[in-house]
Amino acid sequence: MPALALLSALFVVGFEQFIEWRYGPSGVVGLLLLTVGLKVGSPTCSSVGAVVLALMFAGSAR
């Protein structure tokens, strides 16, 4: 069980670092809003986070 928790934590931290490296602080804020909104069950918070991430993803494709 501790190995599974360690692997999960490494994956989450690695994914967060990738988002910050690729999309900057705005990407981290969007990911944080989306995650918190989904965990708490707040549709407003999660949709704001999803919109921020969508804008970051669409803006980098150019």
CB-based contact 20:28 (threshold 8 Å): yes
Supply the Cα-derived Rg of the chain in whole angstroms.
13
Q: Give the amino acid at 29.
A: V
Q: Write out pLDDT tens, residues 5-60.
A: 899 889 988 988 888 888 888 888 888 888 888 888 888 888 888 888 888 878 75
Full-model pTM: 0.67
Among 37, 59, 39, 56, residue whose Cα is nearest residue 47: 37
Q: In this structure, what token pair is assigned to residue 39?
A: 């965990």
Q: Give the amino acid at 23.
A: Y
Helix ranges (H only) for 1-62 are: 2-40, 43-60
